Each structure stands twice: as C-alpha cells, then as structure tokens.
Amino acid sequence: MELGSAEHKQLLTKGIVKVAVKTASIGFFLGFLFMLPSFFRDNAFSSGLFFLGTGVIFVSLFYALTIAYKKYQRIIKPFASNH
C-alpha cells in the first residue's frame, strides 16, 4: 500500500470514524446512566441528573465531531492537496 493511495485514505478515514463513534458511544452510555434515575423517581435531584445526562450526550457528540473534523484536516487533507 502506497502513502496517499485510495486504500490508504480509506483506512485513515475508517480509523477516524472509529474513534469518533467510540467517543460518541461512551458519551451516550454515560449520559443514559445519568438519565436513569429520572425514569424511576421524579424529584429535583433526578431531574437535575436528567439534564446533566442530556448535556453529557450533546457535549460528547460535539466533541466527537470536532475530533473527527480536526483529525481529517490534519491527516487526510494534506494527501488530498498533493494529488
């Protein structure tokens, strides 16, 4: 496999997507864990945890997208400009 080839770019992109999906999945899991008490008991504390869980989900999704974009710019973009 040659550097900059289509196969190389595909493997790099696959790795970037894999990292982004893992990051977002961890965020979804932790966010859901924070949301869990509000499904069983409705009080101020569980409502606060629900909002915290929602925030964790959105922040992890944003973070995963940001990481993927920055990795793409740093790793894939130089190969695209050379060819």
Please tell me the total count of domains within the chain.
1
10 is a domain residue: no
78 compared with 54, residue with greater pLDDT? 54
61 is a domain residue: yes
Q: What is the mean pLDDT of the chain?
A: 92
Domain ranges, residue 70: 15-82
**CA–CA dist 20, 39 (Å, integer):** 28
Q: Is the pLDDT of residue 79 over 80?
A: no
The answer to pTM > 0.85 is: no
Sequence-separated (6 or more) residues with CB below 8 Å from residue 49: 34, 35, 37, 38
3 is a domain residue: no
Q: Could you write out the DSSP letters of every residue in 5-42?
A: SHHHHHHHHHHHHHHHHHHHHHHHHHHHHHHHHHHH--
9 is a domain residue: no
